[in-house]
Structure 1
Amino acid sequence: MSPLKRKILIVTVIAAAIMELIDTSIVNVALNYMSGNLGATLEDISWVITSYAIANVIIIPITSFLTSKLGRRKYYIGSIVLFTICSFMCGQASNIWELVFFRFMQGIGGGALLSVSQVVVFEQFSKAKQGVAAALFGVGVFIGPTIGPTLGGYITENYSWPWIFYINIPIGIAVAISCYFLLTEPTVKQKTGGIDWTGIILLAVGIGCLQTILERGETDDWFAATYIIWLTVITVVSLVSFVIWELRIDHPVVNLRVLKSKTLSIAAVLTFVAGLGILTSIYLTPVVAQRLLGLTPSQTGMLLLPGAILALFALVVSGKLLQSGVSPLIIITAGFLFFIYFNYRMSGISLDTSASEITMALLFRGLGLSLLTVPLTALAVSSLDAKDIPQGAALNNMMRQLGGSFGISIVNTYLARRTASHRTDLISNITLYNPAFTERIRNYTEYFQRRGIGLFDAKIKALKVIDTVVVKQSALLSYKDAYFLVGIFFAITLPLLLLVVGRGKRKGGNVIVSDH
């Protein structure tokens, strides 16, 4: 393949990965519009997000198997076509459950656009330049979820919500055509036996139930709901059976034996935490900016933009540093420390925090995640044989997706608990024996009286103002706690880096990561 065709292929598959990742978050800001348009409750409309996530997590681990069984070219192009058609059908949906169905099918098609794209990018570079490959692919991993809410907000405000799906159509067509002419089969093919239907069913049931628990648990008060208890039992039984089954058969749908690589195993844990950080930060920050600081969706998008631009440069730089022989230990450690500092700064915000302060904090987030994305992506497959790289990449990508799902679930539960706790603490200070409270009530009452409102009604309005302040302060304190919690996750995971990298050996200017 000529250098020009190689570059076009790289751009093509990265664009496909970005498109898939954008769709994980682009609908978040449009849920209210969808709810009103389709006549659905907010609880029902949340399945638009859940169904896509469930499909993604089910399909990603078995992409390596499907690639070998169907042929990479057919499977990848077929997935693009499925994703594109379902994107159109999502925009055409006339009721909520029709939309949920096509979102699930869109997620099935999108699974290949992440894992297979990563493998294709890595194949275009020599072993010595895998850091550059990781940096290029890292652009999609980082930028996709980051710009999703901003892009979705702009489209929803200026056009209508179906267009958040229609924009995939021209991209999907272009990617399919490009891959038809440029994408080839891998040079090293993985041997497969018969179709492991038992493994596929166990994985689909286990991951599907787990993802449903994570997405719906907080809404339905976790184990207070009978169906959550049953789903938990089914999840445990299915996933334990899946692991036992896959380790016993000769041609498993997911080759768990690649996890014998210590480098891949620990890199997967670190990738899980990185995924948790990516999605929780992009989930929390827009909410804080709009609901607490009063920023518009457009202003919120501008908050995220500088960090995203900086991250692009940092991704390339980190790839170059790896290529020049800088130890991954240094780069990954720096990434973790930057992200810890971001969460520390966000845990100290107040209602008077300016947009520029949030933007500055987000710069550290961008630096941190970009410095994690490149070495972790390369690290996950660095010790694998060529035939095992597709499976290793798929498992690593699944861990990123699961990390994000776990993170959102943990944060939502924690926010609910901390909001209730902070509200109780604040209300305990609302008493006639508190001079500050009585003074504030008096001032508010006088304020409303000066506007022609009677004494009784003025006092009622004053109390409502106090309640609004309590609600807002409770929310602020709980969001601060959530940022701090995410920072703790990164801090307690940091020592694992020593086990992953060890003492990186240098050979020919490149770091060789040992499994021993």
Structure 2
Amino acid sequence: MNKAPLKPLQGAQLGWITLALALATFMQVLDSTIANVAIPTISGDLGSSLSQGTWVITSFGVANAISIPLTGWFAKRVGEVRLFMASITLFVVASWLCGMSHSLEMLIFSRVIQGLVAGPIMPLSQSLLLNNYPPLKRSMALALWSMTVTVAPIFGPILGGWISDNYHWGWIFYINVPVGIAVVIITWGILKDRETPTEIRPIDTVGLVLLVVGIGCFQMLLDRGKELDWFHSTEIIVLSVIAVVAITFLIIWELTDDHPIVDLSLFKSRNFTIGCLCISLAFMLYIGSIVLQPQLLQVVYGYTATWAGLAAAPIGLIPLLLAPIIGKYGPKIDLRRLVTFSFIVYAGCFYWRAYTFEPAMDFAAVAWPQFVQGFAIACFFMPLTTITLSDVESSKIAAASSLSNFLRTLAGSVGTSITTTSWTQREALHHTRLTEAINPYNPLSQHTYESMGKMGMSPGQISAYLNNQITNQGLIISANEIFWLFGGIFLLLLVFVWFAKPPFIIGGGAAHRSAEH
């Protein structure tokens, strides 16, 4: 049934709903990274191996990747407010079950439930925020929402490491309970009478099955690929074939079905397509770097998980300060200029790291590029999200938000897999080349063995020490190569964003089309 559009929220109600929806997003994004550093602790406590423990991460990622693109269809069927309330409530219950799990099987089952119900949280928090904000303040809403998306992945490992070091790992999940309850109380109190129009749509059973199989297999091969040595594994080959076949048929089916479970017609909108491309590729590189850097600091430089997280934390300072300013003044300038500035700063920071990451690097050399990159983060999500949704009709914002968030989330998984795999493969290559220099015919090599032998070290100990140093050198060199590559890709992305067509007004799709005709 269709209802007349409600007036935007004002005053205290607007402030409270902004806080509640931002907390919901922060909680959901945080939960995708908070368990990563606690896997050794969880595995040891539940009596499982590390490889089995990684299913705590994989199970959440697979379930979440499947449920995000379904958000638009379910929101039309039951209403955005009801679906959001149900998702948050079930997320709290699943978090409680995760915390009280006494076996790995129970924890993985609870994480699957948690991932499935978490899917709608981020796209609906974005959609509800935009639909209840005055049009002139939507950029401010997006800026505040975007800040939580970028800061949460940084704080996840810090908080996860601190909790697992000082308390029972269950508190990684228990902290969602009071936050989720607060979100439910605030959101329901303000939005219970502001439900979006619903319509009864037939279930696209074929599309649903193809989506679950295709995206599920693709996410699993991303999560398991490195561990199983990618296409040297029969399991990965099988997953790849199933994923390619299922996703191909899914695209064909959804383009021809009258009531698709995923609305691919959104890609007819130029700005939506360009926005999704830019935000997904940029997020892929961003997530790849925030996964790579802590590992580099812990493996090579001996940082603890907490200190590796703290070294990354300065990236969140500038967005916290600039988000309100960009939200207020951003719409007054061409958003493509903001994105261009963001990508240039991203590229500059990656080149900066490539120059400064060396064996004698101190904490400041890590923290300063992170701090400066905060300027790129602040000018990234709000402008690109606005561009993405600018030629989408208001009634399709939930569907467009869920599809763009799905592509961005999937790109993050791809970025993680590609980055970590490239890092180890390049290290192996550099290790081989550097090792070739250590031989009896190299005067420097002979001198090193003689000098260290005089210190009381045996030939075996010297070889082990040199091997460790070569490994560290290889890891640093390969990380720097990745930083160089990422910087170059950001500069290439500058070209694509200028294909977007102004004006950039969220929910203005219908107006654009009527103006064109």
Length-normalised TM-score, structure 1: 0.93
- Counterpart-to-counterpart distance in 2, 1:145 and 1:505: 31
2:70 is aligned to 62
> Aligned equivalents of 1:2 and 1:499: distance in 2?
35
Residue in 2 that maps onto 1:235? 243
Q: Tell me the equivalent position of 1:470.
A: 470
Do structure 1's residue 281 and structure 2's residue 289 form an aligned pair?
Answer: yes
Deviation, structure 1 residue 306: 2.4
CA distance in 2: counterparts of 1:185 and 1:278, whole angstroms: 39
Whether the 8 Å CA contact 1:53–1:211 is kept in 2: the answer is yes
Amino acid at match of 2:76: S
Task: Provide the C-alpha distance between the structure 2 equivalents of 1:185 and 1:229, rounded to a whole number of angstroms.
Answer: 50
Contact 1:90 1:99 in 2 (8 A): yes
Tell me if 1:494 matches 2:502: no
1:203-282 equivalences in 2 (<5 Å): 203-282=211-290
- Following superposition, the deviation at residue 244 of structure 1 comes to 1.6
Residue 350 of structure 2: which of 337, 343, 347 is its match? 343
Uncovered stretches (5+) of structure 2, i.e. residues with no partner:
1-8
In structure 1, give the amino acid aligned to 2:485.
Answer: L
SS in 2 for 1:347: helix
Give the 5 Å matches for 1:361-400: 361-400=369-408
How far off its partner does 1:185 sit?
Answer: 6.5
Cα deviations across residues 337-390 of structure 1 (Å, max 9, x unaligned)? 111111111222101111111111112322212211110111111111111111
1:320 is aligned, of 312, 328, 339, to 328
Q: Which residue does the alignment assign to 2:167? A: 159
- Take 2:511 and 2:328, find their aligned partners in 1: how far apart are those partners? 17
Provide the C-alpha distance between the structure 2 equivalents of 1:354 and 1:181, rounded to a whole number of angstroms.
Answer: 50
Residue 438 of structure 2 corresponds to residue 430 of structure 1 = yes
Secondary structure of 1:495's partner?
helix
| CA RMSD, 1 decimal | 2.1
Is the CA contact 1:56–1:111 (under 8 Å) kept in the aligned structure 2?
A: yes
Q: For residue 58 of structure 1, report the CA deviation from its aligned partner.
A: 0.9
Equivalent in the alignment of 1:85? 93
Q: Is the 8 A contact 1:10 1:120 kept in 2?
A: no
Q: Offset of 1:144 from its aligned partner?
A: 1.2
Instruction: Say which is worse superposed, 304-313 or 398-407, in terms of deviation.
Output: 304-313
Match of 1:196 in 2: 204
Q: Which one-letter code corresponds to 1:473 in the other structure?
A: Q
Contact in 2 for aligned 1:135/1:315 (Cα 8 Å): yes
Contact between 2:78 and 2:198, CA under 8 Å: does it hold in 1?
A: no
Paired with 1:47 and 1:320, the residues of 2 have a C-alpha distance of 43
The answer to whether the 8 A contact 1:72-1:185 is kept is: no
The residue aligned with 1:141 is 149
**Counterpart code for 2:477:** L
Moved more, 367-376 or 21-30: 367-376
CA distance in 2, matches of 1:220, 1:232: 13
Is 1:483 the counterpart of 2:483? The answer is yes
Alignment match, 1:290: 298
| 1:23 alignment partner, SS class | helix
Is the Cα–Cα contact under 8 Å of residues 336 and 368 in structure 1 kept in the other structure?
Answer: yes
Amino acid in structure 2 at the alignment position of 1:45: G
**Aligned equivalent of 1:402, options 399, 410, 423:** 410
Measured in 2, the distance between the counterparts of 1:88 and 1:315 equals: 33
**Quick one: distance in 1 between partners of 2:260 and 2:77?**
12
2:317–2:371 Cα contact (<8 Å) kept: no
Percent identity over the alignment is 30
Aligned partners of 1:83 and 1:109 also within 8 Å: yes
- Give me the TM-score of the superposition, normalised by structure 2: 0.93
Q: Given residue 346 of structure 2, which amino acid in structure 1 is its aligned partner?
A: F
- How many angstroms apart in 2 are the aligned matches of 1:206 and 1:243? 11
Give secondary structure in 2 for the equivalent of 1:448.
Answer: coil
Whole-Å separation in 2 of the counterparts to 1:50 and 1:365: 29
CA-to-aligned-CA distance 1:67-96 (integer Å, 9 cap, x gap): 121222221111111111111111122222
Aligned length: 502
Query: For 1:311, which of 319, 323, 330 is the aligned residue?
Result: 319
Q: Is the 8 A contact 2:272 2:387 kept in 1?
A: yes
CA distance in 2, matches of 1:80, 1:190: 20
Listed as ranges, the gaps of 5+ residues in structure 1 are 450-457
Q: 2:340 aligns with which of 322, 333, 342?
A: 333
